[in-house]
A and B are shown apart, each in its own frame.
Chain A
């Protein structure tokens, strides 16, 4: 069906001479197959002498310095593979007890809840963890723990907007028609925000809010960074984005004319999502995994959060300097543990509302 067409014409002559290039190909093939056979040792657990821990992480930016700091502090080697949360979860499910993963890290709460629901995580008993991480930011069965907070807030143009929205619903006001930028519904950030709205407002009101957003003909951009740049460029005036993207942008361009308007401060608080980690149920190095988890939740909090301008889960740890300029705020901590459960409802709501 799609091979190389008949470039020889109708009548061909097969070459009678020995084909040197093909001889080389044969050796190459044999050699390659031998190499494959040698690699056939499969995926092993790493050397037995040094202590090591294997991590599957969906949060792949700025992660290596964190692991390096951990190894420097404890001598435990960290092997990790980065990928997308749902695919890593599929892999964990398929691997079952054979999985080499000792620790799972995710970039949001819904994905880690799905992992817990699938029985992939182990419940851990650690006073260090329960003291460091607030109750709302860890699973009820202590299967996962938040390591940092990431807030999805209203962003607005400081040049053109004098009275920015103070609630998520206000983004649906007619005055923002044609001036709203949103992330598509495929992204977990959007889904989680809607899930929290379903929890706080009920399905009907949440649907009405999303309908009003859609009625404003938003510009859907699949990148928070590009959303913020769109505000700066004048393509929209208000938008929803994660706080750390603005911090990153301001670090590069301190004069970016975009600011945060903390939503729902008189109500349930700004929508908060979390980067999380949990020990796997089939971990072969559970002690090392727990040690890494505890380190990330205590000494490693700043290293972990500051790398990406996120707020540490442990509220007693000061956030990065740059974040102080964003001011104080109240976050909707109560919703975090429900985000996973309500995710499918959020996805359906977004579909039915015609949100792209």
Chain B
């Protein structure tokens, strides 16, 4: 298992190892020119997007759990759907749409970039906040109300603080997404450190210099998340077991109208408008006859996407479960292995892609496979690289699920004579199934959207929807990008539906 973790960490290690041989010239050149601007832009973007997603996600979650209004349950589910829209799709749709009223200069700003990212990332915070509010139950809120706090103050003084661990978890996810994004920022002319990695690499042709910058990015991301964990440690947030489930308060007509306007407004911006524009472009593409790429039509791309996403998801879950189970028995060493296995998530996609290519090629040169077959460009190679990147999602999802199994249950099973494998198979995994199913859905969403690794490592004949979108958008042919974008959103919706179903089942188990 250490071998597995090591294997997964190798591409990251390959990149990181270049830091041992630093190139001071690159750093001084960068510092003189772009680095200060890149750091400022990255920090600004990060703070804005994290703040925005926390406010939007938490606010919406509170409205949907604490208050009663028409179609509350439906809207509660719909608010998760922006997860199905890839960031780079929302990016080009909004860039094109905003260029109308704001003009091309006004549209290409860091603020509009941040707004686009908030719209696609808030569901992460929303999901965690909503789950947290539901389990808080009504006690704290009702107590606040009896003491005379109005709805707004109740939210800020009671609900929000109690939800902090969930918000921190959501915020950590959003942080990772912002720090590693290279697609959306490029569209809006925002130059972040991740974009800087690509600039240095493509501009100077020096992979080592780019790798150093990437390592700095990873270290920063890991440090931020560690700080977030450190701040959470030692705080006690539990509510009593006898909590009544959250009872939604009725609202007056004005309140209902306001809440509906707010929630539907967010949905319109995050999903409605992009889908409408994409459908219009898609019709135009059909009229122009541009319904397929060089590689094949919609079905070809769709099946490629599903095959790749499914294989990689299954691998991440299987591996994540195995590591999580074994990690629980190993204490500090276990936690270290868990962290190391997760590093790929903190690196921008193209960086992981190149690290994976180097690793796989090294194996090829060592002659691992018989008959002159090679790993680079094989399905196994692609799945390996995707696992390196996304194992963290599977691993931590499963870990949090396993954490919820009380030690007493496991102890009872052991007392009854079950061996560790039997305990894992019959007790721990079933108890964590909600988390496992939810992690599966999240992985499917992430993997079907994935672009840089798939682009570099896909086998011949495997052209995914994301590759189709890339081919169109790299030439600014938005109409041609529309059909595959819609197909991706459709798959994403199905995955979001499964995610919600899994979470609903989990929530039902409480009552």
Contacts and interface: CB of A to CB of B under 8 A. Distances in A.
Interface residues of A, number: 78
Interface residues of B, number: 114
Nearest to B202: A86
B108 A225 contact: no
Interface stretch (B138-146, B153-161, B401-409): B401-409
A33 B314 contact: yes
A14 interface: yes
Contacts of A10: 238-241
A35 B362 CA distance: 24
Interface stretch (A60-68, A269-277, A318-326): A60-68
Interface stretch (B71-79, B113-121, B257-265, B433-441): B433-441
A226 B98 CA distance: 13
Given A4-B401, A83-B455, A347-B203, A95 B376 contact: yes
B138 to A, nearest CB: 13
Contacts of A87: 350, 353-354, 452, 455-456
A196 B135 CA distance: 65
Given A100-B377, A221-B108, A3 B34 contact: no
A156 B510 CA distance: 67
Contacts of A315: none
B205 interface: yes
A61 B361 contact: no
A223 B401 contact: no
A226 B476 contact: yes
B357 A91 contact: yes
A161 interface: no
Given A19-B430, A42-B369, A90-B354, A226 B471 contact: no
A61 B189 contact: no
Contact of A9 (B135, B191, B315): B135
Contacts of B396: 1-3
Contact of B405 (A5, A14, A100, A225): A14
Interface stretch (A203-211, A327-335, A348-356): A348-356
Given A8-B506, A95-B376, A90 B315 contact: no
B280 to A, nearest CB: 16
A7 B244 CA distance: 14
Contacts of A11: 241, 406
Interface in A206-242: 219-226, 230, 233, 235
B509 A35 contact: no
B378 A8 contact: no
B173 interface: yes
B431 A14 contact: yes
B187 interface: yes
A13 B364 CA distance: 49
A114 interface: yes
A344 B433 contact: no
A317 interface: no
B476 A84 contact: no
5 contacts: A1-B228, A7-B503, A39-B380, A43-B373, A94-B360
